[in-house]
């Protein structure tokens, strides 16, 4: 059985919170775990090894998790901090979570070093781009006024648009005969300058916002801007996300098999 790690989201210390007052919480959204668990997978949250209560001498590290697990998912959540790509937040509410950025970039690099696959979802796609030296539009509505509304809080995961595949891309090969699909859209930030070694494999239509990227370096690093875990499997109007899941897990299985054969 494959063991797939899911990078944690953070609720930082908040003295006004009704429960766990003054404590930092780390969590995952259950749909991500359940999406992975459709297959023969143990889904495991990867807590950040850093924190004020960590004991001296602990051997828990991102490198240790990368050595133990078979793959990594970087899920959605808070904004990527503009400081992580050399900018200042245009508004205070877009300042994001730089602590989480650093934790996830370290995780990403650790899994790449192990040759194990990484799949990014929404924020995960943006984080991968930033980790590779790219930048983001801090707010689509402000910086790309011609664009579609990519996040509507009133309908959230029901907000959707058309997405096109780049011809000849690995993503397009997973969907033979399909050039245009329907995906959900719950983000207000987007990839601006592409990171080193990344190629675009999908765009939203007709505004051409980047919807999927793949790393061309050794190993498997792929990311989508939409949320495959939010798509209802019984709604045929949406893209079938199973080929993306199966492709990611196939890379994890091959790496695991190769390691056992050594």
User: What are the residue numbers of the active site?
Assistant: 122, 227, 229
Cα separation, 137 vs 155, whole angstroms:
23
On the question of a cis peptide bond just before residue 145, with omega within 30 degrees of 0, the verdict is no
Count the helix, strand and coil residues of the chain and give each as a percent rounded to the nearest 5: 30, 25, 45
Cα separation, 233 vs 220, whole angstroms:
25
Which are the contacts of 233, defined by CB distance < 8 A and separation ≥ 6?
none
Cα separation, 139 vs 8, whole angstroms:
23
H or E element, residue 64: helix 62-68
Token pair of 242 as six digits: 């199973």
Cα separation, 256 vs 34, whole angstroms:
22
Cα separation, 228 vs 242, whole angstroms:
9
**Short-list 10, 226, 185, 4, CA closest to 103:** 10
Which residues of 59-197 form beta strands (DSSP E)? 71-74, 118-121, 136-137, 160-165, 180-184, 190-191
């Amino acid at each position: 059985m494959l063991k797939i790690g899911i990078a944690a989201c953070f609720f930082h210390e908040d003295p006004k919170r009704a429960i766990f007052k003054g404590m930092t919480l780390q969590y995952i959204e259950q749909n991500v775990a359940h999406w992975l668990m459709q297959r023969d997978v143990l889904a495991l949250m990867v807590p950040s090894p850093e924190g004020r209560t960590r004991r001296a001498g602990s051997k828990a590290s991102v490198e240790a998790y990368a050595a133990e697990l078979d793959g990594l998912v970087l899920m959605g959540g808070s904004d990527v901090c503009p400081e992580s790509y050399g900018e200042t937040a245009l508004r205070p509410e877009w300042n994001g979570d730089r602590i989480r950025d650093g934790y996830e970039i370290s995780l990403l690099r650790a899994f790449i070093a192990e040759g194990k696959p990484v799949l990014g979802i929404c924020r995960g796609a943006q984080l991968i781009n930033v980790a590779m030296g790219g930048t983001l539009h801090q707010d689509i509505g402000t910086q790309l006024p011609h664009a579609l509304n990519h996040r509507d809080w009133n309908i959230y995961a029901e907000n959707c648009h058309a997405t096109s595949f780049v011809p000849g891309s690995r993503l397009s090969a997973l969907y033979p005969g399909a050039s245009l699909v329907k995906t959900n859209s719950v983000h207000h930030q987007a990839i601006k300058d592409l990171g080193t070694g990344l190629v675009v494999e999908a765009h939203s239509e007709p505004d051409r916002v980047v919807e999927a990227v793949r790393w061309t370096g050794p190993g498997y690093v792929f990311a989508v801007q939409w949320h495959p875990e939010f798509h209802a499997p019984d709604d045929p109007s949406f893209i079938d996300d199973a080929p993306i899941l199966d492709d990611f897990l196939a890379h994890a299985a091959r790496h695991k098999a190769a390691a056992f054969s050594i």
